[in-house]
Amino acid sequence: MDRVISISLGEVVLKGLNRKYFENKLIDNIKRVLKGLGDFKIYKEQGKIYIEGVENEEEIAINRLTKIFGIIYVSPCIRTSTELEDIKKASICLLNEKVKDENGIVTFKVNTTRSDKRYPLISPEISRIVGAAILDNINNVKVDVVSPMINVYIDIKENAYIYIEKFKSRGGLPIGTNGKGLLLLSGGIDSPVAGYMMAKRGVEIDCLHFHSYPFTSQRAEEKVIKLAEELSIYTGPLRVFSVNLLNIQKAINENCPEDQMTILSRRFMMRIGERIAQDNEYDCLITGENLGQVASQTIESINVIEKAVDTTILRPLIGFDKTDIVKMAVEIETYETSILPYEDCCTVFLPKHPLTRPKLKDILDAEKSLDIESLIDEALENKKIHYIK
Ligand code: ATP
Ligand code: MG
């Protein structure tokens, strides 16, 4: 009897001929999060992935495994031979651990699945025999097949796996199976959630942040690094490109109508994002834009902003209500950092009455007075890169 951890795959199982590719990416990601937890081994057996050799760090391993994408459940199991006597022993042992702290009667149900159809007994028979053995060996337990307090699961494959706990993981697709994206990360609530959502669809993420130092503070920048660290729990190591937008904002302020400030600076953000994407082979930009939330997010504004670049822009939050975005931010644990009260670069030169229905022609006219390429070159020359492990 060995203790192992079983991994139930999410959508990966639907991937047909590509399944191997998705599974291998997932295994790479599992190895990355378990690094440092000793000499473990990962193997596949009939549709599931198993990890052996982490029994001393089981809790930490499970905690980390429930934060990576491509997995729906993680279970600590006992692995035995497929001999019925071994399966009984393991089931009794696991259930005993669970009921010893309970007062009163504990109800249970045995659930068997059998991938090996050559096994001499059918699943309901196995469940019945193991259930009877449990009743003979543990006091204060009773069978309840409708709503049991505890489910005992038995998976019969090349080995038998017995478990009673299923920890829910994140679903989605393994990171790295859907290209690379550059997330425009502000210090707000929305953009970390947007990054999380695209990472969940398998996109490998790095971040781009704009500040207006010294108009915005060092602490505002540290807050964004902290958000990136919180995001990296799900995405793995990432880079944060940090670009000072102040000279661009000053040039806009001196040369263009005041009410166009927000739209014009957003177009610069996209262009700078596109340049970094081209130089580093990102497939797309990702933003936390959300239709109608603020002046720069009306459909007219979004149209005019995205015309600045050719690169695909993904906006996973476009149709969500703010309350739902806040709920997600709380769930992924970025919310508390997002609401720290440090100023954002967009508050510098904030127009009193920002345009909500910009016309592309007016914006293009205003941009004629700016030397766009050299402003971008200068901003990029001074960019910094933070590496988050
Ligand atoms: P957030 O909560 O993500 O800041 P928001 O509701 O404040 O979003 P906006 O300020 O209009 O919305 O920003 C829309 C999107 O533009 C952000 O989600 C982010 O992707 C990008 N963005 C805005 N400001 C910055 C910045 N300073 N650095 C990087 N990206 C930014
Ligand atoms: Mg913002």
Query: Domains plus CATH for the chain?
Result: 2-170 (3.30.2130.30), 180-388 (3.40.50.620)
Question: Rounded to a whole number, what is the largest CA-CA distance in the chain?
Answer: 87
* Candidate of 182, 183, 184, 186 to mutate for ligand 1, largest count of ligand atoms within 8 Å of Cβ: 186
Write the pLDDT tens digit of every residue in 112-169.
999 878 888 999 999 999 999 999 999 999 999 999 999 999 999 999 999 999 999 9
Bridge-partner residues for 387, per DSSP?
Answer: 239
* Pocket-forming residues, ligand 1, beta carbon under 6 Å: 184-186, 188-191, 208-210, 269, 287-289, 293-294, 296-297, 344-346
pLDDT digits (tens, 9 = 90+) for 208-254: 999 999 989 999 999 999 999 999 999 999 999 999 999 999 999 99
Give whole-number Cα distances, 62 to 59, 67, 79, 292, in Å: 5, 9, 17, 40
End-to-end Cα distance, the chain: 36
Phi, psi dihedrals of residue 238, rounded to the nearest 5°: -145, 165
C-alpha 30: how far from chain center: 14
Distance 254 CA to ligand 2 centre (A): 23
The whole-angstrom separation of Cα 191 and Cα 334 is 10
Strand pairing report for 204-211 and 238-244: parallel
pLDDT band at 292 (very low <50, low <70, confident <90, very high): confident
Nearest alpha-carbon partner for 164 in 140, 130, 190 = 130
> What is the predicted pLDDT for the residue at 344?
79
The reported pLDDT for the residue numbered 51 is 97
Which residue pairs, CB below 8 angstroms and at least 24 apart, start in 371-378? 371/251, 372/268, 372/271, 375/247, 375/248, 375/251, 375/268, 376/248, 376/268, 376/271, 376/272, 376/275, 378/247
Ligand 1 pocket test target in 182, 185, 190, 298 with most atoms within 8 Å of CB? 190
Could you give the percent of the chain with pLDDT greater than 90? 85
Q: Distance, CA 268 to ligand 1 centroid (Å)?
A: 13
Cα separation values, 15 from 21, 24, 261, Å: 9, 13, 46
Q: Specify the pLDDT at position 16.
A: 74
pLDDT at 17 over 80: no
Radius of gyration of the chain measured on its C-alpha atoms: 27
3-class DSSP assignment, residue 151: strand
Give the rounded distance of the alpha carbon of 237 from its chain centre.
Answer: 12
What distances in angstroms separate CA 334 from CA 29, 170, 183, 201, one per listed residue?
22, 16, 15, 19
SS3 content of the chain, % helix, strand, coil (to 5): 45, 20, 35
Closest ligand to residue 209's CA = 1
pLDDT tens digits for range 324-344: 999 999 999 999 999 998 877
* Tokens 């543990």, residue located: 138
Q: Which helix (H) or strand (E) holds 19?
A: helix 19-34
As a dihedral over the C-alpha atoms of residue 9, residue 13, residue 18, residue 21, rounded to 10 degrees, the angle is 10
pLDDT tier for residue 350 given thresholds of 50, 70 and 90: confident
Q: Which atom of ligand 1 is nearest to the CA of 293?
A: 6
As a whole number of angstroms, the distance between CA 48 and CA 153 comes to 14
Q: Look at residue 349 in the predicted model and tell me its pLDDT.
A: 80
Which of 10-24, 103-117, 144-158, 179-193 has the least mean pLDDT? Answer: 10-24
| Distance (Å) of CA 77 to CA 194, 256, 337 | 35, 65, 36
Q: Which two tokens stand for residue 234?
A: 């799900």
- pLDDT digits over 304-314, tens only? 999 999 999 99
State pTM to two decimals.
0.93
Over residues 248-272, the pLDDT tens digits come to 999 999 999 999 999 999 999 999 9
148 DSSP 8-state letter: -
pLDDT class of 75 with cuts at 50, 70, 90: very high
Mean pLDDT of 167-177: 95
| Per-residue pLDDT, 293 | 75
Structure-token pair, residue 369: 């007075």
Report d(CA 21, CA 28) in Å as an integer. 11
Please state, as a whole number, how many other Cβ atoms lie within 10 Å of the Cβ of residue 258: 14
Q: Give CA separation, 263 vs 43, 55, 364, in Å.
A: 52, 55, 11
Element containing residue 385 per DSSP (H, E)? strand 384-388
